[in-house]
Amino acid sequence: MEDAASHDRILILDFGSQVTQLIARRLREAGVYCEIFPYSADVDRILAFAPRGIIFSGGPASVTEVGSPRAPASVFRLGVPILGICYGQQALVTQLGGLVEGSDHREFGRAHIDIAADCALFHGAWSPGTREQVWMSHGDRVTGLPPGFSVVASTEGAPFAVIADEERHFYGVMFHPEVVHTPHGAALLRNFAVNVAGCRPDWTMAAFRAAEIARIRAQVGQGRVICGLSGGVDSSVAAVLIHEAIGDQLTCIFVDHGLLRQGEAAEVVQTFRGRFNIALVHRDASDLFVDALAGVTDPETKRKTIGRLFIEVFEEEAAKIGGADFLAQGTLYPDVIESVSVTGGPSVTIKSHHNVGGLPERMRMKLVEPLRELFKDEVRALGRELGLPEHIVGRHPFPGPGLAIRIPGDITREKLDILRRADAIYLEEIRFAGLYDAIWQAFAVLLPVRTVGVMGDGRTYDQVCALRAVTSTDGMTADVYPFSMEFLTRVAGRIVNEVRGINRVVFDVTSKPPGTIEWE
């Protein structure tokens, strides 16, 4: 990790909100370094972090309930600015002597806030006398302010929607500025970090690259490192960064499980052997995986089967290399946060395969995780900094189990071939239309449904292909991409005409609301 002492930092205390990570992402996007600690973090740990400001996240609890979460009392005596968001605002108010009560007027979703007075949070974003859109998600509400606070904005359901104690630099907002549904929310967070807390916005990928290379060299020394390479963004960036640091001390293992998209295996080999001259072991284990999945229909059983085989094959190839001291993986900051919050400690998983398998203790290797302080968008920025080709850096997310979870029901080689061709046509047309970068994720699914159709002078009885495409800025909320009917007609026509085994194409129009985290 880059030396945190070289950056001004914001600390986010997590009270359990599903969108806490978005607060950190907005600050990182503004060039401000930050980390997320659980609200129950040890005071000594908070002091050692030495934040310039602290943000209390939202959360699912009610401060009116006995035993509900509270911030460590000592944070109010650190002399640093504090911003409470939603539940965080209510905890702030309660702990400083104000009053929070349950309300019959709950607010969930879009709301409009009336700006009553100026505030340091509003600089360049909101002005007194205006009405602004925000995203609310609360049942309780503040009904009495602590000493020193005043109201600077309100809504019909939340008369204390934004409160401020400018002398102590304590602020509370009832809405969620971190989500895209609050249009000026990112500006408010930046104002808190830069203008109020005085943080320098100097968090850049160029600086991270240089510092992380030095850290990797110091950690590894003369040791040897193996990296599980999947061809996805995370493992690709991790491999190139580590190779830049230690060169031939790194060997990558690429386990081809036969569940990749069309042409991906060859692309991985060409990129890392040909372009970057990285030592790469390519193990084609497609027959092993596909045979093991025969007759398996339960999605979780598929995942576990793939994960178990992946670890077994990876371990076999690692043993052939021999003498490796370290295992490199593309663990990202969200993985670190989730593993700590769920298990109480760091996870030990081969991240390059999207956590479908754990690292056996018998492998006895230390971990090298150069991306563990980064979010996905930062990893992409680092990949561009390292010179990775855009078709890898900008690639849509693709889960470790690959096409196996995009074929509901049993897996066969025939179904995999059908889906690969349909998916390739879909993505090809998206690229031809210049839409690939405007879409966060697009893919085809081979449904376990057969329909009767007429093609030419004959009837067919073939499968149905579903197409999905969504836009997202954070991977946590998503909206359906609004393709034109002309585009959909052209794609459907190509798939039905060119892919034998499909006679009908449907388009999935399901959105993903705020607060939902997982996506495939």
To the query of whether residue 176 is one of the catalytic residues in this protein, the response is yes
To the query of whether residue 178 is one of the catalytic residues in this protein, the response is yes
∠ CA 193-376-268, nearest 5°, is 155
Task: Sheet with 131-138: list strands edge to edge.
Answer: 33-38, 9-14, 53-56, 82-85, 170-173, 162-165, 150-154, 107-115, 131-138
| CA–CA distance, 482 with 251 (Å, rounded to integer) | 43
Supply the angle between the helices 205-220 and 233-246 in degrees, to the nearest 10: 60
Strand 141-144, strand 441-455: pairing: unpaired
Task: Single out the catalytic residue among 7, 138, 176, 243.
Answer: 176
Task: Single out the catalytic residue among 86, 119, 199, 227.
Answer: 86
**What is the gyration radius of the CA atoms in the chain, in angstroms?**
25
Q: Given CA atoms 320, 326, 328, 332 in this order, what sign does their dihedral have?
A: positive
Is there a contact between 149 and 98 (Cβ–Cβ < 8 Å)?
A: yes
| CA–CA distance, 354 with 253 (Å, rounded to integer) | 15
| CA–CA distance, 316 with 322 (Å, rounded to integer) | 10
**Alpha-carbon dihedral 421, 383, 379, 242, rounded to 10 degrees:** 110
Task: Single out the catalytic residue among 178, 317, 369, 373.
Answer: 178
Is there a contact between 26 and 203 (Cβ–Cβ < 8 Å)?
A: no
Strands (DSSP E) contained in 43-140 are 53-56, 82-85, 99-101, 107-115, 131-138
Supply the angle between the helices 376-386 and 233-246 in degrees, to the nearest 10: 50
Q: Given CA atoms 292, 295, 299, 300 in this order, what sign does their dihedral have?
A: negative
- Catalytic residue numbers read 86, 176, 178
